[in-house]
Each structure stands twice: as C-alpha cells, then as structure tokens.
Amino acid sequence: MPTKRVQLGLVLLYSGLLTAMSSSAYGADDKIIKKGQQLYNQNCSVCHQADAIGKPGFAPSLTNPELLSISSDKFFEGTIRDGRVGTGMPPFSHLGRKNIKAIVAFLKSHAKLPNRSKEVAAQPDSHGDERLGKQWFDDICSTCHGENGDGYAAGSTGTAIGKAGFQSKVSDGFIRETIKHGRSNTRMLGFSDSTGLANLSDQEIDDVISYMRTLVK
C-alpha cells in the first residue's frame, strides 16, 4: 500500500513539473496570440483571408507592414468592435473586449516596422484648402475609392475612406501617413515620391485630407 502512494506522489510531482516547464517555455503572450489566431480563423479569415493578407475589392490586408506600424491598439479594437457601417465590415462587439484584444495581439504579432502609432496620432490636424483637395480627390483617389469615398460599394479596390466608420477612428496623421507612404503589396501606392501615381506635396496632401473630412456628414 505505501509503495502505491509513493508512486502516485511521483506521478503527481512529475506531471506538475511538466506543466511548470511547458508554461515557462510558452509565455502568457504566446497564449494570447494563439487564442487570437483561433478567433481570427473563426471570425475573420472568411473575408480577410488566411494569414490576413486581404483580397482586393473585398477586404483589406490586416498584416500590411505600414498599416500595423501606424495603427494604435485603440484603432484596431474600435474598428473590430464597431465594424464599419455601410461597408462589408460587420461589428464584433459580441466577442467581448478580451477576445478582441487577443485578435489585435495576433494581428500585431505580424509587425515588421517600428510602432509609430503615438507619433502619428500626435501630428497636427490638416490645414488644407478643401476646394483644391476636391480636385485631387476626384482626379486620383475616386478612381479606386469611389466618388465620395464610398469604397468597394462603388465597385473598385479601395476602402470606404469617405465614411464615418473609417474617419471617426483615425487622426489626420493616420490619413496623412497612408497617403504619403501607401501600403506595400496593395494598390495603395504612396503619393509623396515619384514611384507613386502622382507626386503630391505636403500641402496638397493636407488639401486632400481637408476635403475628405467634408465627406462625412
């Protein structure tokens, strides 16, 4: 009888050691990321695709380096919670805060560029000329984002940048950086250098932002 008890004790001790070892080799963060990946696969991959690379004209990339670099956790969490009214992006508030944070941790684990979200959010608001901005917008941006920034609904590849779902969650700095540097491996090219579709000055970019802000009623 006593030997059995010793054996049982050893088994318990051994399994305890195993658990201790596995939890130290596998930190809490990794667990959250793994959970986020599961939730992503269940709720998001149907539109944003496996690996979150997106699909032109259907859903944007969520692992794009430039997007991850300028996005705050708050932007991601808010967008996932509220969705974007009038677009294909549904709200996911029913998942709860903790699960949404896990999905964001999973998405952010793909980051390749430094996190610039604080600096970008702190940039000054645009002081542009809406009328000049409208000309640029109609000539260039509307071809992909739709005449009023209606996005995919207008039958093209750019997202709904004229709608409240996007605009209420981003700073002028976020929009400015996206226009300047674009998003690699998507059709959104940067507009601040000669490789882009047009070479816009900082002032012209601010004109465009000021016009965009008038699109949300």
The binding site for ligand HEC (CB under 6 A) comprises 43-44, 46-48, 54, 59-62, 64, 67, 76, 79-80, 84, 87-90, 92, 103, 136, 140-141, 143-145, 151-152, 157-161, 165-166, 175, 178-179, 183, 186-188, 191, 197, 208
The 8 Å CB, 24+ separation contacts for 178-186 are 178/66, 178/70, 179/205, 179/208, 179/209, 180/205, 181/66, 182/66, 183/61, 183/64, 183/66, 183/67, 184/64, 184/65, 184/66, 185/61, 185/64, 186/54, 186/56, 186/60, 186/61, 186/64
Which of 6/87 has CB closer to ligand HEC? 87
Smallest gap, in angstroms, from Cβ of residue 24 to ligand HEC?
A: 30
Which of 151/173 has CB closer to ligand HEC? 151
Which of 15/199 has CB closer to ligand HEC? 199
Smallest gap, in angstroms, from Cβ of residue 186 to ligand HEC?
A: 4
For residue 40, give the H/E element and its range: helix 28-43
Smallest gap, in angstroms, from Cβ of residue 23 to ligand HEC?
A: 27
Residue the block writes with tokens 């000049």:
132
Farthest CA pair distance, the chain: 91
Which of 15/201 has CB closer to ligand HEC? 201
Smallest gap, in angstroms, from Cβ of residue 30 to ligand HEC?
A: 19
**Rounded to 5 degrees, what angle do the CA atoms 164, 85, 143 make?**
65
Smallest gap, in angstroms, from Cβ of residue 123 to ligand HEC?
A: 14
Which of 120/141 has CB closer to ligand HEC? 141
Closest CA to 191 of 150, 124, 145, 123: 145
